[in-house]
Chain A
Amino acid sequence: MTTEWTDRLSEYLDGTLTPEERRACESWLQSSADGRVLLDELRRVVARAKTLPDAAVPESVWQGVAAGIRSSVPRSVAREAPELARQPLPAPRRRLLEREQPDADGWIDEPARLDHQQGDERPRERTAQPGHPVRFHRPPSLDSARCSAIYPPRCV
């Protein structure tokens, strides 16, 4: 059973046929028992899709979200440098080149990063060893002074 209308039964079901097409399809349905069976099956698929049971969200999801938002751009940056906050999120788990050396203010040039995401020009915090200054990544468009103004270096 393959006709033009078997391929368009979903459109009939969804009400997206023109009035003329709809009449033609209904005329075909009246003469085709197989067509009526297929239409009923498609109706049941649609009904099933509307009643799919949902699964509970694992608690670990929030833990990952919380860790993620704490390592994202601080609100202070978003307020003081909104052009930076609009940049897309960097790829997670970025690796840093061992040869990276921070400048006198603790900033590291972005181009030195292996997997720098193009277009991401926010200063980023780098995990530091306890007792050492936190390192930051300086986007090419900002000098150290501007970076330090919106994201003051601090110690952990």
Chain B
Amino acid sequence: MPVTKDAQVVVNQDDSADVLLAKGGDERAFERLYRRHSPRVFNLARRMLGEDHAVDGTQTVFIRCWTKLETFRGESQFSTWLHRLAVNVFLGERGTLGTQRQRFTDDDAALEVLPGKKGSSVEFSLDFEAAMQKLPTGMRTVFVLYDVEGFSHEEIGQQLGIATGSSKAALHRARMALRKHLER
């Protein structure tokens, strides 16, 4: 059963205690951290890597988290630190998975991968998330990071190694493509 994003917002004071315990090698504390934060990481993986690679991607993030936990100084919230780690892992995973950086500012060919129903306006049957998955990787990444995850264009530009203007253009192209798949 789908869970709304609002229900998964994690603001948990137990994080700091469990982080300390996990740093000391306490696997149960680490599992508690995992239980609290895995929904957001897993769904980010679904959207950035696709359904087929979400499990592997999520596992990689938490194994990396375990090994890098020593470097977490508590200067930001654990959830923020973990989320950044997840994005970096997924951006790296795209290369591993053979989905290297693609066009960020594509031409109309990018929109053709999202066919709409001819003769209608903007309400079509194709599921919105399925349409997202059909976007070229670069466009999808920018759309997910900006509109779903709330990163700024400057942050996206730094993480993807592209100009801020390219990020803006990719976002607009993605929105233009996805508007054809809004539900009524």
Contacts and interface: CB of A to CB of B under 8 A. Distances in A.
Interface of A: 7-11, 16, 38, 41-42, 44-46, 48-58, 60-62, 64-66, 68-70, 72-75, 78, 82, 85-86, 89
Contacts of A9: 172
A11 B168 contact: yes
Contact of A85 (B67, B178, B179): B67
A65 B62 contact: yes
A50 B129 CA distance: 12
B126 to A, nearest CB: 13
Q: Is the interface of B mostly helix, strand, loop or mixed?
A: helix
Interface string B55-98: 10011001110110011000000000000000000000000000
B31 A75 contact: no
B104 interface: no
B4 A54 contact: yes
* Residue from B175, B178, B183 whose CB has the most chain A CB atoms within 10 Å: B175
A61 B55 contact: yes
A45 B179 contact: yes
A46 B147 contact: yes
A42 B38 CA distance: 30
Interface in B1-15: 1-5, 8
B1 A69 contact: no
* Residue from A16, A68, A72 whose CB has the most chain B CB atoms within 10 Å: A68
Contact of B1 (A45, A56, A73, A74): A56
B109 interface: no
